[in-house]
Structure 1
Amino acid sequence: MPGVDLAVVQFTSNQKYQVATLANYSLNTKDQKVFVSGFPGNKQQNKNKPHRILTAGVLSEQQSIKFTTYLSFNNQSSLIPVRIQTVLSDGYDLLYSNITKGGMSGGAVLDTQGRLIGIHGRVEGEISLDFDGKINLGSSSGIPIRTFLNLVQQVGIDSDLKVETTAPATLKKSEEDVISEYLLPLDEVPKNSDDEISWLNYANQLWRSQKYAEARKAVDKAIGKKPDFYQAWYFKGMIFRREEKYPESIAAFDKALKINPNFAQAWKQRGRVLLRLDKYSEALTSFDKAIALSPNQFALYFLRGFTLRYLKRFPEAIEAYNQAIKIDPLFKSAYSGRGLSYGELKKYRQGIADFTQFIQLDPKDASYYNLRGLYYGQLEEYKQAIADYNQAIQLDHNDALYYISRGNAYLMLKDYKQSIADSTQAIQLDPKDATYYLVRGNAYFRLNDYKQAIDDYTQAIQVDPKDARSYSLRGGIYSILKDYKQAIADLTQAIQLDPKDAIYYSLRGSIYSNLKDYKQAISDLTETIRRDPKNAPYTMQGLRYSEFKDNKGLLSGYTGLMSKAYATRGVTYYELKEYKLAIDDYTQAIKIDSQNAEYYAFRGGIYSFLKEYKQAIDDLTQAIKIDPKKATYYHLRGTTYLQLKDYKQAIADYTQAIQLDPKNATYYGGRGFAYSQLKDYKQAINDWNQVIKIDPENATYYSARGDAYFQLKDYKQAIDDYSQAIKFKPDLTLAYSAMGNAYLQLKDYKQAINDYTQAIKLDPENADYYYSRGFANYKFKDYQQAISDWNQAIKIKPEFPEAYTNLGIVSYEMGELETAINHWRTAIKINSNFAEAHLALGIALYARGDKEAGLKSGETALKLHKRFGKIEFLKENNWGDKLIKDSQEFLNNPRIKGLI
């Protein structure tokens, strides 16, 4: 099978074969001794008696780039780490320093216990020179035996292979020395007269023996003999690369390429070194040069895709990986890179398909079950994600990352106890990762176990005191616990660590607003708005807008962050009575999040407060449209209709609020008031009964029901309610006044006077209470006390025509005609349309003999209100006997009678 190093074939034979013991364990141990056995294919080899050679070497770490990225789940405030290792391989996953020669491909790679760990493939460098056959420069590479075992499993062969999974014991130094002496022999140092190829061959042996400084000297000897020896310059670059002297390595590769610009391998290795220097654009140029020269190397397309992914040119990266897979469909690293690129484009389904393909090629690699699980998590398919995490843990139960991934999935499923269990296991395995404490802290937070959550966030801070998220999360819990001082301290620390992140200013601003430190609140919320992540270089949770704009969950969080910043600042302006600024901020919040009903409701509330009722109703109607199940919005709109005296519409809204929340006393109270305004007192009483049933100790409700009974002239029931109101609130002034009114109607003037007196004690500057008590004293025939009360009322409220009119009435009864006339004239001066004062003045003038003036005043009164022409009405208005008697003669005058 030409060109194939490893295959699974079926055959039959009559011969018996010795079957090797296979070893399948982690081969990532650097400097582990390994042996390669094979038959060199040089021209001097005897084909009938091939000579097997055995060379020793050490395992090399593949050039790989390890990085940690973060995935954020839709309703998570913290990010979950995803550790990814991408191997920059050529498709061979086993690298070793053994000297191998052409023809050895397909030979055995053995560990120190003689167990087969791989099949030799080729040399990384792919350089051939005419010197005793072929010399290969670079690490040797092979295929791990686990690849064979995976293929066996896939084709369904039931083999009796002997497979061991334990790593070999560490060699003693004496054992290593023996191996080095017999299996890592170095040729004699070439003579100065030897040619450049001899020196390069010697440098190659030194390099494989990890004697890099000596290897460089040998290469320099070769270059000294032939300055345009581009292979030597190339190999010098390889030596520098192994020493991690990357600038020097680039310089050497550049020299080789200057001599031979068509040297594809040098372009390739140059690109790999540039990746180490994070020079991705330059690396891409090198890989493109190599591809142009050697278009059939699938590894070059993989490297191109890898580089494009780092440059965030994900569609191009995917195309490069497609090309690599087209050339070699079994190249699993290409599926890995393509899957990660799909993830960056939020195409998680395609990413899952690629990770599934990787898993089929290598079902024992736990990390890709974890990655696939994370993608399922992004799709909110948490049960499927957990199944993958379970598989990852089964394959590698000592990796904390798999437990924390599963713990986060359980968190999303609200299985907080299981989340805590997994997070705890992750912490036990890796107590130095702060993120694990954050995940567990989040689970405790969801269980309202704030103390444990704080402990975990504190531990995260101790592990990583530079992570602003930990301070922010802990500050959030302190805020819930109303420990605002500590909350502000934590958020201040978060801001110091990450001043570009808007969310920390928002949280601190909200706390300052709660503390009524409005100046500081506005400052922080303004900073939040200024740090909108749409404006570089600001971020949210450490991410730029471009990095999360396609993530549904994070984008929702961003919308909430910015709109809430305006809304909270709007509340703060409202508290400062800066109503226009408050409205402006809520308008801005609505522009950002037009489906947030609360923003419309709050703005509507401000409009209502400003008596801009139409605008208020428009906003509250919009809030109801967005969230028709929110009783509060109907209540607010009903209250606004109440202000507009649209009582029927108010009742309709209160009724809807009651249907949604039948246990809220306020809604019944509002409807009861609306019914009262429509004089539907029985229905009002029904609502107040329900209010009192819900809240039986609220004095205001008893007082309101008492008012309804008063209007129905059920004065005794009204008095009972007012008494109950006073029981629950002894300083409820209005209840005393109202009860006085009820006693007045029952003609219990003494008790009425007592209640008015109590009201005056509680509110001595209220003119109405003196006025009412004056009236009770008048009915009690205590005219002097009545006069005193009405004078006091006028002292408090000089523009009080009713009080002057009553003073005139009592003065008239006392025979003080001129005094009465003066009082009525004063009342008319205050209110020229006060009909009662005009009529009383007319009667007095008529009785005094000034008949024309009296008739004119009477005519004015009756033109204002004809009801004053009825004696019964005057009696109901509590006119005195003397004034009633004189009014009968006056009203019988033909001029007056004609107006009645």
Structure 2
Amino acid sequence: MHLSHNEDKNFSLTRFESMLKTNNVLFFDSEEFEEIINYYMENGKIALAKKATKLGLEQHPTSTNLKLLQVEMYIFENKLDIAEELLNDLQVIESSNEEIYIQRANIYSRKDDHKKAINLLEKALEITEDELDVLNLIGMEYLFLEDYENAKYYFMRCVEEDPEDYSSLYNVIYCYEILELHIDAIDYLNIYLNSNPYCEVAWHQVGKQYFLLKKYKKALAAFDFAIISDDTFVGAYLEKGKVLEKLKRYNEAIENYSITLNLEDPTSFALLRIGKCHEKLGNEEFALEYYHKCVHEDILLDKGWIAITDFYIKKNNFQKALYFIDKAINIDSENVHYWKRYAKINNRLNLFEEAEIGYRKTIELGNYELQTWISRSDILMQLGEFEAAITNLFQAIDFYPENAELEYRLSGLYYFLNDTTKGSFHLKNALKLDLEYKLILEVLFPTVYEMPEVQNLISNYGNTSQ
């Protein structure tokens, strides 16, 4: 276990852990305790951090920094009242300690009072010698408020303080993107690149902005500069691959995606895209090979299973498509995209009961597309479940009021069930909405369509609408 590259720090940690194992009490100075606690907190070992804080305060009961670390842990555990009491005590002793303002701001941030948090951080900014951290915290609070202009301003100040603060650079560009100021983002990055011409991160971001603007050749040039700046930059190869796909240069896209497989462990994204490129090139065996590698790499990636399923659907091989979508559903039964395909495939195989289950599950999972409701009602009709079909159509009308396709179906069902009053009511609604869609009645309910009453209504409406 290593605290850092510094051997003294590593030695402190080793001594501390040895002390815990032997129950021998050893002395550490307060700075050693701070380093040990920070290490444990950064690595998510909160129980050990608390133990180190307790022992640290026993040996150094007046240490403000150890008390502030204790406050930080209370905030982490959401014990905000206790943290606030400790800060009140500390402020009496050290009113000019910026960390007290920072931790108070942290408490207000936890309470979603981000404006108060910002006010406290502004006070911390006035007295701190390390402006960068405080500027970053203010930027984050403005992000919470969705005030992207102010957030951008503070992250820009971070970048001014430290041009290699790439986290803040990313946040600046994120704000530009949310504000849809892609040209402004490019201008900002170009100014940054004037001083940092070999910054692969900045070139990468320039490329992404041009990609969003659909200026693919300029995006390609930017990603090339990112790769020149760092030929091991995986993100640049992936983005370059995406651009080459847009330009239909699929072989070159495959080359770039393949480079990433050699630079680090294969990613499911790269494997999927290679498969898609091969499919576009007509290399069906290679496409399937990479789709299978993709789901092997990440069994939970729905795009991989969907790619395999859609591949077989396009080939009209519905049995194989069903086999793979069944596998996908067994892995994730709450994925609406899987159930949509399950329903469509079973419908094509004339397995109507299974198709109905698929459409019902799709709706239950929140897919309220018009076609989903229509497909389910048509299948329920084929199954002779007329009342269920009517219920389904009325549910659809809640989402799609005044829709001719739904009204014609309701009309046909009511006439079919000999409820001519409701049938007539919905037929009139449908005719008002769209006369041309009367074809639905003719195809789905031919006996109803031929009824004299229905023909009269259609004829009368046709004459009055001319």
Q: TM-score range by the shorter chain?
A: 0.5 to 0.7
Q: Is the 8 A contact 2:260 2:270 kept in 1?
A: no
Q: Which ranges of structure 1 fall in alignment gaps of 5 or more residues?
A: 1-416, 418-439, 464-470, 532-557, 857-900
**2:419 matched to 1:780?**
no
Q: Is the 8 A contact 2:409 2:440 kept in 1?
A: no
Give 1:572 deviation, angstroms: 5.9
Give 1:786 deviation, angstroms: 2.6
**2:175 matched to 1:573?**
yes
Q: Which has the larger radius of gyration?
A: 1
Q: Is the 8 A contact 2:431 2:458 kept in 1?
A: no
Where does residue 46 of structure 1 map in the other structure? none
**In the superposition, relative to structure 1, how do residues 808 and 713 fare at CA in structure 2: closer, same or farther (>3 Å)?**
farther
Where does residue 368 of structure 1 map in the other structure? none
Where does residue 233 of structure 2 map in the other structure? 630
Give 1:713 deviation, angstroms: 2.5
Give 1:666 deviation, angstroms: 0.9
Where does residue 690 of structure 1 map in the other structure? 293
Q: Is the 8 A contact 1:654 1:668 kept in 2?
A: no
| Separation of aligned partners in 2, 1:601 and 1:854 | 61
| Separation of aligned partners in 2, 1:726 and 1:805 | 34
**In the superposition, relative to structure 1, how do residues 761 and 568 fare at CA in structure 2: closer, same or farther (>3 Å)?**
closer
**2:319 matched to 1:704?**
no
**2:272 matched to 1:669?**
yes
Where does residue 591 of structure 1 map in the other structure? 194
| 2:253 aligned residue (610, 629, 653) | 653
| 1:506 aligned residue (113, 117, 132) | 132
Q: Is the 8 A contact 1:505 1:524 kept in 2?
A: no
Where does residue 374 of structure 2 map in the other structure? 771
Give 1:522 deviation, angstroms: 5.9
**2:6 matched to 1:443?**
yes
Q: Is the 8 A contact 1:570 1:585 kept in 2?
A: no
**In the superposition, relative to structure 1, how do residues 732 and 853 fare at CA in structure 2: closer, same or farther (>3 Å)?**
same
| 1:730 aligned residue (314, 333, 352) | 333
Query: Match for 2:337: what amino acid?
Result: L
Give 1:521 deviation, angstroms: 7.2
Q: Is the 8 A contact 1:669 1:687 kept in 2?
A: yes
| Separation of aligned partners in 2, 1:460 and 1:804 | 80
Name the one with the larger strand percent.
1
Q: Deviations over 1:679-734 (max 9, x none)?
A: 87665433321112222344553243223223323223222222222222221122
Q: Is the 8 A contact 2:343 2:354 kept in 1?
A: yes
Where does residue 828 of structure 1 map in the other structure? 434
Q: Deviations over 1:34-64 (max 9, x none)?
A: xxxxxxxxxxxxxxxxxxxxxxxxxxxxxxx
**In the superposition, relative to structure 1, how do residues 668 and 769 fare at CA in structure 2: closer, same or farther (>3 Å)?**
same
After TM superposition, the structure 1 = structure 2 runs for residues 264-343 of structure 1, keeping only pairs within 5 Å, are none
Q: Which ranges of structure 2 fall in alignment gaps of 5 or more residues?
A: 18-27, 50-67, 73-97, 103-123
Q: Is the 8 A contact 1:805 1:824 kept in 2?
A: yes
**In the superposition, relative to structure 1, how do residues 693 and 764 fare at CA in structure 2: closer, same or farther (>3 Å)?**
closer
Name the one with the larger helix percent.
2
Where does residue 601 of structure 1 map in the other structure? 204
Q: Deviations over 1:648-685 (max 9, x none)?
A: 33664245213431621111223445666788766543
- Residue identity over aligned pairs, in percent, reads 14
| Separation of aligned partners in 1, 2:216 and 2:348 | 38
Give 1:776 deviation, angstroms: 1.3
After TM superposition, the structure 1 = structure 2 runs for residues 110-189 of structure 1, keeping only pairs within 5 Å, are none
| Separation of aligned partners in 2, 1:479 and 1:511 | 18
Q: Is the 8 A contact 1:790 1:803 kept in 2?
A: yes
Query: Match for 1:443: what amino acid?
Result: N
Query: Match for 1:710: what amino acid?
Result: I
Give 1:747 deviation, angstroms: 1.3
Where does residue 100 of structure 1 map in the other structure? none
SS at match of 1:600: helix
Q: Deviations over 1:730-789 (max 9, x none)?
A: 211221222122111121111221222222222274544322211211222333433432
SS at match of 2:316: coil
Query: Match for 1:791: what amino acid?
Result: F
Query: Match for 1:570: what amino acid?
Result: V
After TM superposition, the structure 1 = structure 2 runs for residues 381-530 of structure 1, keeping only pairs within 5 Å, are 442-444=5-7, 451=13, 481=43, 489=99, 499=129, 504-506=130-132, 509=135, 525-528=155-158
Q: Deviations over 1:607-648 (max 9, x none)?
A: 545666666455334434544543422322444566x5x5x3
Where does residue 376 of structure 1 map in the other structure? none
Q: Is the 8 A contact 1:705 1:721 kept in 2?
A: yes
Q: Is the 8 A contact 1:845 1:854 kept in 2?
A: no
Query: Match for 1:760: what amino acid?
Result: I
| Separation of aligned partners in 2, 1:737 and 1:453 | 59
| Separation of aligned partners in 1, 2:151 and 2:345 | 51
SS at match of 1:739: helix
| Separation of aligned partners in 1, 2:457 and 2:284 | 47
Q: Deviations over 1:796-842 (max 9, x none)?
A: 1237555456556667877879678657645637xx7x79669979x
SS at match of 1:661: helix
**In the superposition, relative to structure 1, how do residues 820 and 730 fare at CA in structure 2: closer, same or farther (>3 Å)?**
same
Q: Is the 8 A contact 1:702 1:721 kept in 2?
A: yes
**In the superposition, relative to structure 1, how do residues 575 and 509 fare at CA in structure 2: closer, same or farther (>3 Å)?**
farther
| Separation of aligned partners in 1, 2:12 and 2:310 | 49
| 1:756 aligned residue (353, 359, 362) | 359
Query: Match for 1:573: what amino acid?
Result: C
Q: How many correspondences in the alignment?
A: 367
SS at match of 1:756: helix
Q: Is the 8 A contact 2:254 2:277 kept in 1?
A: no
Give 1:449 deviation, angstroms: 8.2
After TM superposition, the structure 1 = structure 2 runs for residues 218-229 of structure 1, keeping only pairs within 5 Å, are none
Q: Deviations over 1:8-36 (max 9, x none)?
A: xxxxxxxxxxxxxxxxxxxxxxxxxxxxx
Where does residue 63 of structure 1 map in the other structure? none
| Separation of aligned partners in 2, 1:846 and 1:790 | 23
| Structural RMSD (CA) | 5.6
Q: Is the 8 A contact 1:569 1:582 kept in 2?
A: no
Query: Match for 1:798: what amino acid?
Result: P
**In the superposition, relative to structure 1, how do residues 756 and 846 fare at CA in structure 2: closer, same or farther (>3 Å)?**
closer
Query: Match for 2:131: what amino acid?
Result: Y
| Separation of aligned partners in 2, 1:827 and 1:618 | 52
| Separation of aligned partners in 1, 2:278 and 2:461 | 44
Q: TM-score, normalised by structure 2?
A: 0.58
| Separation of aligned partners in 2, 1:619 and 1:711 | 36
Q: Is the 8 A contact 1:491 1:508 kept in 2?
A: no
Q: Deviations over 1:269-292 (max 9, x none)?
A: xxxxxxxxxxxxxxxxxxxxxxxx
Q: Is the 8 A contact 2:278 2:284 kept in 1?
A: yes
| Separation of aligned partners in 2, 1:851 and 1:798 | 21
Q: Is the 8 A contact 1:777 1:785 kept in 2?
A: yes
| Separation of aligned partners in 1, 2:257 and 2:233 | 8
| Separation of aligned partners in 1, 2:143 and 2:256 | 38
**In the superposition, relative to structure 1, how do residues 851 and 478 fare at CA in structure 2: closer, same or farther (>3 Å)?**
closer
**In the superposition, relative to structure 1, how do residues 669 and 775 fare at CA in structure 2: closer, same or farther (>3 Å)?**
farther
Where does residue 114 of structure 2 map in the other structure? none
**In the superposition, relative to structure 1, how do residues 717 and 508 fare at CA in structure 2: closer, same or farther (>3 Å)?**
farther
SS at match of 1:747: coil
Q: Deviations over 1:401-436 (max 9, x none)?
A: xxxxxxxxxxxxxxxx9xxxxxxxxxxxxxxxxxxx
